[in-house]
Structure 1
Amino acid sequence: MNEILFFGSNEDPILIKNKTDSITKPIQFKFENENENENENEKQIKQISTGEFSTIFLFKNGKAIEYLNQKYSNQNPQKIQIEENIQKVTVGNTNDRIIQDVVSGIFSIYLLTSNQNAYGIGDNFFGQLGFDSETLKETEKPILMMKNVSKIFSGDYSHRVFLLTSNQELFGCGLNRYGQIGLGESRKETKIQKLTKIQNIPKGEIIDIKCGNFHSIMLIENENENENPKRKLYSCGVYSYTGLEKDGGNIYEFTEIKSSLFENDNILDFSVGCYHTLILTSNSKLIVFGNNLFGQLGTGDTKDQLIPIQIELPKLRFNEDIS
């Protein structure tokens, strides 16, 4: 079994027993599977996406099941077969029942089908389904948002979504009170209720976008002649969560995060929480910035970090067959 590191809030549920409410430095724990009798087909899980009210399991056969959390359903966890709902709203396009990707927002769910159609389910208060919130406040059935979509990006604590087309055009909608969609100074509306093309995107391939509550982080890969592809991070939203060296205010356009810590490294992966960000570089550096109220940055204290800093990890014990 792989080693798992945990740090941050340790309340509701308590993940680390006999520990304080906040874990300020990374510690190890093991996750134990409590359901050994599950159906064999359901063991072939391709992806798990968790939002505020539900958890979605996407299986390798293209089917998806949503489980509503017991806390909010007032009964046992409710099981919903998502692709059956898509079939009811799709005319003459059975391939839309094959789900390629599933992404959760805080109160919304986004689906990408094998025909590159993007669907939205759930809350639309900020227009995060791409429709006027007065006309469509919410939907319990998948609603078609856009065709010719290659990737969908959102976040567990996000009221917005980004859709990337097959020709690398990026569209966004939803909550934009602090510039989290990256539309620039001219677009300061609280709600962007229609999928809107985002201009001035840096050149290169958009690898990933991850959203916190008040900030968004974009990873772009640039191909340079005679050099290995270089990955760079760009952010927008509330200044104190973006990792940018600026004196207050909001960042309304995707702006490059520059740091000597990864100037000579490449970005291998990154993760965005509600108010903070973690970056893993090609040289195995773990770099963090943002809010640290619960010790979620792993710095050993609860002090916020406005610009990226590197943290130390404990020595890990890996299985012999893992490099």
Structure 2
Amino acid sequence: MNEILFFGQNEKPILFKNEPNEITKPIQFKFENENEKQIKQISTGYFGIIFLFKNGKAIEYLYDEDSNQNPQKIQIENIQKVTVGYLNEAILTKEGNVFAKGDDISSKNPNEFINISSLIEDTNDRIIEDVISGAYSVYLLTSNHNVYGIGSNLCGQLGFDSEILKETEKPILMMKNVSKIFPGNSSYHVFLLNSNQELFGCGANRFTQVGLGESIKEDWKIQKLTKIQNIPKGKIIDIKCGFYHSIMLIENEDENQNPKRKLYSCGYNKDNGLGKDDTYEFTEIKSSLFENDDILEIFVGQEHTLILTSKSKLIGFGDNDYGQLGTGDTERQLIPIQIELPKLRFNEDISNYHVSCGFNKSFLYYSNQNQN
């Protein structure tokens, strides 16, 4: 049984043939044979969307002038995770293999999935635990906790001098002893967290989105992984990267020793929400909507942010030119606001809902990860 709501840009690709290009109020998305498809994950970029089902199969919607071509079945079995960037898609199988496609992955066959994990030189690193897409690059976390990057290095997002290495169609080792990768499907920068909870970043920093401080704000390209100083106290739960900004979720204990999560941001925030210009270091996002609520999940598109909480349900801010905040209009929101949603079928268990943001589109969907 599926519960999928969509709002935002209804093109590139087209999901609703009889709806306008701007869907400003959340509407139900349904598959042709809904009873046979239990949704597990949705990943959306700019030119593509992948729906992953509980049975390990997936379909994709691609930008095509002939909308009758969609959806298309992905001819890969036992899929564990899907991830979509600007011009790339990557798939992690239950066996630990990663298949990817895109202009930045293979110049010869950009429309065909290839096994990029098999291209890693160290054969001991070919079992992959996680994969995430950036705008023009893909990052792989191996079972040995090493991170490899493949694709564009235009802004140093692979951690190397972009004048020497502009791009690579072979995974290259970026960093060892990594526990998590934090890029974004529209970002030219990336964060890596090591096992000691030390955070490193590289890539585009023109709008101070890497959070390295005011002293190096003029360095628009961070071409090697650099340790991020002055990280807020607490455990880093998640970081989501937009084109101009980054959002961090930190968990700490309150005065009663109960876990409490807070949001922080850095980068150019004036058009992305929060009503301020460049923030050189991660700074707390304060709102009365968070005071007595628990933040479950955050997700960032190109310039908009959505936050799923236990009580307020869905909170958003930032760009809304295509209705991607689901507020019913196209007005940008410079401060966090609560978004009114239709009554959800499983609203008694909001923790099983998840958010997926593309460039100018958003999904809210129900997926019980503990359910077979």
Q: Do Structure 1 and Structure 2 share a fold, with TM-score over 0.5? A: yes
Equivalent position SS for 1:240: coil
Looking at structure 1, the residues matched to 210 and 7 of structure 2 have their Cα atoms a distance apart, in angstroms, of 28
Equivalent position SS for 1:78: coil
- Residue 77 (structure 1) aligned with residue 107 (structure 2): no
- Residue 31 (structure 1) aligned with residue 65 (structure 2): no
Q: What residue number does 2:313 align with?
A: 285
Equivalent position SS for 1:12: coil
* Residue of structure 1 aligned with 2:278, choices 239, 243, 250: 250
The residue type equivalent to 1:98 in the other structure is I
Unaligned regions of 5+ residues in structure 1, if any? Answer: none
Looking at structure 1, the residues matched to 74 and 28 of structure 2 have their Cα atoms a distance apart, in angstroms, of 27
253-262 or 215-224: bigger deviation: 215-224
* Residue of structure 2 aligned with 1:147, choices 156, 167, 176: 176
The residue type equivalent to 1:28 in the other structure is Q
Equivalent position SS for 2:262: strand
Looking at structure 1, the residues matched to 74 and 165 of structure 2 have their Cα atoms a distance apart, in angstroms, of 41
Q: Is the 8 A contact 2:26 2:341 kept in 1?
A: yes
Question: C-alpha offsets along residues 253-310 of structure 1, whole Å, 9 cap, x if unaligned?
Answer: 1001000011111111111010000011121421110011111111111111001011
Q: What residue number does 1:183 align with?
A: 212
Deviation of 1:46 (Å): 1.6
* Residue of structure 2 aligned with 1:96, choices 125, 136, 140: 125
- Residue 201 (structure 1) aligned with residue 231 (structure 2): yes
Q: What residue number does 2:247 align with?
A: 217
Equivalent position SS for 1:30: coil
Equivalent position SS for 2:117: helix
Q: What residue number does 1:126 align with?
A: 155
Q: How does 1:253-272 map to 2 (within 5 A)?
A: 253-272=281-300
Unaligned regions of 5+ residues in structure 2, if any? Answer: 33-58, 60-70, 353-367
Identity of matched residues, %: 68
Equivalent position SS for 2:119: helix
Looking at structure 1, the residues matched to 242 and 74 of structure 2 have their Cα atoms a distance apart, in angstroms, of 36
Equivalent position SS for 1:313: coil
The residue type equivalent to 1:179 in the other structure is T
* Residue of structure 2 aligned with 1:227, choices 257, 263, 266: 257
Looking at structure 2, the residues matched to 290 and 137 of structure 1 have their Cα atoms a distance apart, in angstroms, of 32
1:73 and 1:18, CA in 2 relative to 1: closer, same or farther beyond 3 A? farther
Looking at structure 2, the residues matched to 76 and 196 of structure 1 have their Cα atoms a distance apart, in angstroms, of 32
Q: What residue number does 2:143 align with?
A: 114
1:227 and 1:67, CA in 2 relative to 1: closer, same or farther beyond 3 A? same
The residue type equivalent to 1:95 in the other structure is N
Deviation of 1:67 (Å): 3.2
Compute the RMSD of aligned alpha carbons: 2.4
Looking at structure 2, the residues matched to 320 and 280 of structure 1 have their Cα atoms a distance apart, in angstroms, of 14
Equivalent position SS for 1:261: helix
* Residue of structure 2 aligned with 1:315, choices 330, 336, 343: 343
Question: C-alpha offsets along residues 148-174 of structure 1, whole Å, 9 cap, x if unaligned?
Answer: 011011011000110000000000000
The residue type equivalent to 2:284 in the other structure is E
Q: Is the 8 A contact 1:236 1:242 kept in 2?
A: no
Looking at structure 1, the residues matched to 75 and 192 of structure 2 have their Cα atoms a distance apart, in angstroms, of 34
Q: What residue number does 2:363 align with?
A: none
- Residue 172 (structure 1) aligned with residue 201 (structure 2): yes
The residue type equivalent to 1:194 in the other structure is K
Deviation of 1:74 (Å): 8.7
Deviation of 1:203 (Å): 1.0
Give the length in aligned residue pairs. Answer: 311
Looking at structure 1, the residues matched to 224 and 215 of structure 2 have their Cα atoms a distance apart, in angstroms, of 16
* Residue of structure 2 aligned with 1:238, choices 268, 281, 285: 268
1:140 and 1:75, CA in 2 relative to 1: closer, same or farther beyond 3 A? closer
Looking at structure 2, the residues matched to 38 and 126 of structure 1 have their Cα atoms a distance apart, in angstroms, of 33
Q: Higher relative CO (CA 8 A, sep ≥ 6), structure 1 or 2?
A: 2
Equivalent position SS for 1:186: helix
Equivalent position SS for 2:206: coil
Looking at structure 2, the residues matched to 108 and 67 of structure 1 have their Cα atoms a distance apart, in angstroms, of 10
Looking at structure 2, the residues matched to 47 and 158 of structure 1 have their Cα atoms a distance apart, in angstroms, of 20
The residue type equivalent to 2:156 in the other structure is G
Deviation of 1:110 (Å): 0.6
Deviation of 1:47 (Å): 1.0
Question: C-alpha offsets along residues 110-166 of structure 1, whole Å, 9 cap, x if unaligned?
Answer: 110001111010111111110111111111100001100110110110001100000
Looking at structure 1, the residues matched to 82 and 162 of structure 2 have their Cα atoms a distance apart, in angstroms, of 28
The residue type equivalent to 1:49 in the other structure is T
The residue type equivalent to 1:311 in the other structure is I
The residue type equivalent to 1:17 in the other structure is K
Deviation of 1:2 (Å): 1.1
Q: What residue number does 2:54 align with?
A: none
Deviation of 1:195 (Å): 0.5
Q: TM-score, normalised by structure 1?
A: 0.90
Q: What residue number does 1:273 align with?
A: 301
